[in-house]
Amino acid sequence: MPPTKPDETCPKCRGTGYVIDDKARVARPCDCGLLERVHGADRARGARIPPRFSRKDFENYSIDAPQGGKSSAASAKARKEILAVAEAYARGFNTDEREGFILRGPTGCGKTHIAVAILKAVIRRGYTGVYFNFTDLLSRIRDSYQEDGTETEGALLNIVDSCDLLVLDDVGAERASEFVRDRLYLIINRRYENARPIIITTNLDDDEMRERVGERTASRLCEMCAIPFPPFPAQDYRRAMMH
């Protein structure tokens, strides 16, 4: 039976998502796809993807070279390779996956688009995933220390620790401090010990990352994000897509 459209009511389950097996006397999931859509929507809401990025997908990641510019053809070739690697990772993701990526490149090159597209594709396959901008996460952790705080640090850390895939965006944009280093180490180490993958986006190269986050965190990230990922072109993807 083909899946029903969102605005249609399945004649078999009548919109409940279940059909009754009279012989076995049990309710079974209907093949109309309703439960899958509902659960998928729940997982998507739980991913905390900001509205600005909610439509970022593989399908609208443009690999075409913008008009003009000496590097446009090379940039298009690089983006095509980036897209292929990202799609392959999402297709092959499973709960035994232990490795992720560090997506490196200058501001505006499309790192967040690819990271969110991977996360959404993994969620659509039935896994759980969460997006956090690292600076925003740190701010929420600090706010949790206030008497009128609505979240606790433990609850926030449990969210980033328990999901199948974590996207930590823009690591390195925050001002360096012991607090920043300690919290990043705590997040990375928990996922490291529990063998859960992470995708990080950053403007920092290897040496800058090591200096910014510390040797312990950098060493763990090196092992956790051992999958080679194509370099992002220096051409500003964000501006190019505006023209």
pLDDT digits (tens, 9 = 90+) for 210-221: 999 999 999 999
Name the residue ranges covered by the structural domains of the chain: 1-46, 49-240
What are the beta bridge partners of residue 21?
26
The CATH class that applies to domain 49-240 reads: alpha beta
pLDDT digits (tens, 9 = 90+) for 8-53: 778 877 777 667 777 766 666 677 765 455 444 444 566 889 888 8
Residue 128: CB atoms within 10 Å: 16
Distances from the Cα of 5 to the Cα of 2, 13, 33, angstroms: 9, 14, 9
In the predicted model, residues of the chain with pLDDT beneath 70 are 1-7, 17-18, 24-29, 33-46, 65-71, 235-243
**What's the mean per-residue pLDDT of the chain?**
83
Which among 87, 56, 116, 76 has a CA at the least distance from the CA of 235?
76
